[in-house]
Amino acid sequence: MLLDKSDDPSPIKLFISSPGGSIDAGMAIIDAMESMEREVDTYCVGLSASMASAIFSCGRKRYIYPSAKLMIHDPLIHGTGGNALQLKAISDSLLEYREIIGKLLAKNTGKTLEEIYELTKQDTYFNAAECVRNHFADEIVGKEHTT
């Protein structure tokens, strides 16, 4: 929030390269972004996957570099065990997060929730051009690499 208090009126630039991680931590970042007075532009560099792709989608302007990739999927949990009631509670929580993140991606891309659910049934990767074409990013920035 310190950046939000500076005298600079230009948007904050948030560069994202992450395999994802904790949904709760990601939602905290999104809440912070949305509560700022200054706008936040997001930049996808490298790979922004899972929760990182949801954070990326929340930028006022969403920029992606030519070599970058975005990956979306349904929420996952690893190494879970327990009794039937514990597993049901975990499953209910995952379905709740699925809806929250699905609605967030739908709002930020203009896709329907059903379209997002179809894309998140498995790991779905987008290169930079596919991100722009599918409204996950607004613009490709930087120089194209030639071979």
Task: Please provide the size of the chain in residues.
Answer: 147
Residue keyed to tokens 């709002």: 107
Per-residue burial over 91-129, b = 16 or more CB atoms within 10 Å of its CB, e = otherwise: eeebeebbeebbebbbebbebeeeebbebbeeebebebe
Residues labelled catalytic: 50, 73
